Chains A and B, each alone.
Chain A
Amino acid sequence: METVIKTDKLTKRFGGFIACNALTFEVYKGEIFGFLGANGAGKTTAMRMLCGLLAPSSGDAAVAGFDVYTQTEKIKRRIGYMSQKFSLYDDLTVTENIRFYAGIYGMTGDSIRAKTKSLLDELQLQGEARTLVRELPLGWKQKLAFSVSIVHDPDIVFLDEPTGGVDPVTRRQFWDLIYHAADKGVTVFVTTHYMDEAEYCNRVSIMVDGVIAALDSPDGLKRRYDCGNMEDVFYQLARNAKRKAD
């Protein structure tokens, strides 16, 4: 299996506080990797380091083969990012949003035009090309946001709680897109508070108090902790977290 993210004792300190403590794990090409954790466990800090936005204090990590200390600009070109909070510009049209992000990721003229067309076809949004994003129903917006985050065919896409607050049908349609992207070889690194979604991942890591407390397939975790579902696994691991009070 090809490795696209590899960390070795990746650590981030803020003063005396160790946000991420010696994280060691690998993520494989085309896998859907669920990155779970209690509030305050250090997920966001870890993701920021992997996206090249925050320098680690110690340890090593490579993302898409690039070093998180010295090659952050190269990392940024090989990854996509989407969160529920920030994704598209409401005041731009569908086409303008695609063009904007494609441009940011260094695509130019013809390739942007070709990609815009194929993306609109794929999403069946041809009729809405000139519609302002703010006028789109939430479900369409989400699909567009996800497609835009992988417009430059990145190796890895980071999804930070992509389905928060979304209705149950739209939430599932969104996972269809995730599976589709993973099928095409994009590695998906996803955080969520919906424990049923943890079941849709190939492997899941659960962070507690700055360390990875467990990492395995959902089935493997359920067997090891003798639980019927991922919610109970999570509860067992995170229940005694010290940092939740902080």
Chain B
Amino acid sequence: MITLEHITKTFSKGSVQAVKDVSFQVGEGALFGLIGPDGAGKTTIFRVLTTLLLPDAGRATVDGLDIVKDYTRIRERVGYMPGRFSLYQDLTIAENIRFFATVFGTTLEANYDQIKDIYQQIEPFKDRRAGKLSGGMKQKLALCCALIHQPRVLFLDEPTTGVDVVSRKEFWDMLGKLKERGITILVSTPYMDEATRCDRIALIQKGAILSIDTPQGIVEAFPGKLYAVRSGQPFKVLQDVRAYNGTQTCFAFGEALHVTLATDNIQGLSGYLAGKGYQDVHIEPIEPSIEDCFIHLLKD
């Protein structure tokens, strides 16, 4: 449904390489995640695929149509939710939806079923101006506007950034329902924990793809063993584990440290910590998260 072949895009006369030789494919009906921090090139990829930017090199297609030759036809069949809220702040919820429906030559009534699940959550406030809405409601309105013309592909650029945990969960539940209806979705996020909601993901940093696979595949490719180290003095133990000469990597993950060792000698580490006077240290092997994998790939 979406293909990119060696897409490269530079800015400032070539001095800034926003996207470097990126290739991937998204199958029909798939939920594909672009996972990476600010400046990774996520937004540039979205803008190339939605025909708003021409790539310097490479080819891309959306729903079988070429992003350069067939750009007008692509625009008819994709829905795009940009990272920055870009609806009309001075129009109400209802007016925004009507506006986007009209632009695509349709009406809210004709497509009510398409957006019903989401629209009903904001319908009680339909006469409120978009500028006066909370983050979570703006997000739902933007999604309604992106869906109103029954697109075959949805492009969602960081829909959950700056949104609280509860709204983030709700949003991903909504995406799950859209996927069930067969809509292909390309979504980007800086939150690594959201990766597991996707069928496949690309981990991306500084314009280049670090890895593409299913979330499970990425986790399975993590080399070596990962241990969680817990202690009552997390910051102190972090510094001590980092200072241990058998430690390969050591990062704080919430209340635990995630540690990899140069040789798989966990007794060595627990002996070292006991020697430092820790009595409450608990060490156990764990399965890596996507964030562990991302950190590992950054190091290479």
Contacts and interface: CB of A to CB of B under 8 A. Distances in A.
B50 to A, nearest CB: 21
A168 B294 contact: yes
B166 A168 contact: no
B166 A193 contact: no
A2 interface: no
A138 B38 contact: yes
A244 B167 contact: yes
The SS class assigned to the A binding surface is helix
Given A161-B162, A195-B165, A235-B166, A229 B135 contact: no
**Range class of the A interface residue count:** 35 or more
Interface string A101-140: 0000000000000000000000000000000000000100
Contacts of A172: 251-252
B234 interface: yes
B37 interface: yes
A38 B164 contact: yes
Interface in A141-177: 161, 164-170, 172, 175
B217 interface: no
A165 B161 contact: yes
A69 to B, nearest CB: 29
A91 interface: no
A244 B165 CA distance: 11
Interface in B252-277: 252-255
B104 to A, nearest CB: 28
A166 B164 contact: no
A138 B39 contact: yes
A200 B253 CA distance: 9
A39 B190 contact: no
Interface string B61-79: 0000000000000000000
Contacts of A170: 37
A244 B255 CA distance: 28
B235 A238 contact: no
Given A138-B38, A168-B291, A169-B295, A196 B163 contact: no
Given A165-B37, A246-B134, A193 B163 contact: yes
Interface in A207-240: 218-219, 229-231, 234-235, 238-239
A245 B161 contact: no
Contacts of A175: 252
A22 interface: no
A230 B136 CA distance: 21
Contacts of B235: 179, 200
Given A39-B163, A195-B254, A244-B167, A165 B38 contact: yes
B167 A39 contact: yes
Interface string A168-202: 11101001000100000000000001111011100
Nearest to A231: B165
B207 interface: no
A200 B134 contact: no
A37 B234 CA distance: 24
A195 B191 CA distance: 11
A219 B234 CA distance: 12
A231 to B, nearest CB: 6
Interface string B193-235: 0000000000001000000000000000000000000000011
Given A37-B164, A235-B165, A238-B166, A167 B36 contact: yes
B37 to A, nearest CB: 4
Interface of B: 36-39, 121, 124-125, 134-137, 161-167, 169, 190-192, 205, 234-235, 251-255, 291, 294-295, 298
15 contacts: A38-B167, A39-B136, A39-B163, A138-B39, A166-B37, A166-B38, A167-B205, A193-B165, A195-B254, A196-B252, A199-B255, A234-B165, A239-B166, A241-B166, A244-B136
**CB-CB nearest 7 A-B residue pairs:** A167-B37, A165-B38, A196-B254, A199-B254, A199-B255, A39-B135, A40-B134
Given A168-B251, A193-B164, A234-B165, 15 more contacts: A37-B164, A38-B166, A164-B162, A167-B36, A167-B37, A167-B298, A168-B295, A168-B298, A175-B252, A194-B191, A219-B255, A234-B164, A238-B164, A244-B134, A244-B167
